[in-house]
Amino acid sequence: MSAKIAEQMLVPSPKRAFCRSLPALTLGAFGLTSCADAEGRFHDFQTRLGEVDAGSEISDAASASPDASDEGGPCLPPAPNTVSGPALLAVETSLAEGHPILFLGTITTPASGDTTAVRFVYRALDSLDRSTPVGPDLTVGPYALVNGELSAPVAESTLDGNANPVLHGAPITSKMTLTGEICGVRAYYCGTVAGETTGLLSGPFTGRFAITLLDGPHAVPERPRFGCGAEDLAAPLTPR
C-alpha cells in the first residue's frame, strides 16, 4: 500500500430485480423452484446474513455469493471486477479500543495475473462527524490476492489529526501491516492489524480492520464495523 495510508489510516434489489437476477445468484442449494418461493427463501437468507452482519447494509453483492470458506473450503477471491464501488475502511487498534479510524472511498478489484487484486482510492474522515473528508485523496494498491489472502505492509507515515477518534487534532505517526482474507463477494471483509507508533505515543499495537461495501458514497453506517465479530461495531456519535 501507499506509504501515506497511515496518514489517512487505514457496494439492492426490489422484487422484480430479484426475479430477474435469480439465475446469477448462487442460491441453488436452497432448492428454489419458483420466483415467489425463491423470494421468501431469499428474505430468510438476508435475515440470517443480517444477524451476522449487524450494523452494516446488506447489498445484492453481499447476498449473491456466500464463499466456500464458510464451509471449510478454500478462500476463493472474487472474480476480477466483481467487487467495486463505495466502501468504508475502519481500523481499530489496541491503543484506542472501540474507536476506529475511518476512511471513505472506492474499492475496485482488477485482474492481476491469474488472480484478483484490490485497489483503494480514499480519504480519511473527520472523527467528529464521520462524514467530512480530511487530508488528500490517496490511492493504494493494487494488491494481488494469493489464495484470497490480503497482506498489506504500510510504511511509517502520519495520520491527519482531525481523523484521530480519541484526541481530535493530534496526528498519529505509525507503521503497520493489515492481514486478512478477501473471499467471494460479501458485504464486508475483515482482518487484523499489527504495527508500531512513534512520537508522543510510542510502542507496538495490534488491532482489527473491516472494509464495508456501501449503498452510496455517503452511506456511512451509524455504527461502523471495525472487525470480524458481530460485536465489532463503533458506538454511535454523541450528538453535539
Summarize the chain as % helix, strand, coil (round to 5): 20, 40, 45
Residues 199, 164 contacting (CB under 8 angstroms): no
* Residue 10 confidence (pLDDT): 39
pLDDT band (50, 70, 90) for residue 230: very high
Residues 23, 14 contacting (CB under 8 angstroms): no
- The Cα–Cα gap between 210 and 187 comes to 10
Closest C-alpha among 155, 176, 159 to residue 168:
159
Number of continuous H segments (helices) and E segments (strands) in the chain: 3, 9
* Residue 38 confidence (pLDDT): 42
Instruction: Select 66-213's CATH number: 2.60.40, 2.40.128, 3.40.50, 1.10.10.
Output: 2.40.128
Report domain extents, the chain: 66-213
* Residue 112 confidence (pLDDT): 94
pLDDT band (50, 70, 90) for residue 219: very high
Higher pLDDT, 6 or 212: 212
Locate 29 and state its grid cell: 442449494
Q: What angle do CA 115, 156, 170 make, to 5 degrees?
A: 120
pLDDT band (50, 70, 90) for residue 201: confident
* Strand boundaries in the chain, DSSP class E: 85-93, 101-108, 111-112, 115-125, 133-144, 149-159, 172-181, 188-198, 203-213
pLDDT band (50, 70, 90) for residue 120: confident
Q: Is the pLDDT of residue 37 over 80?
A: no
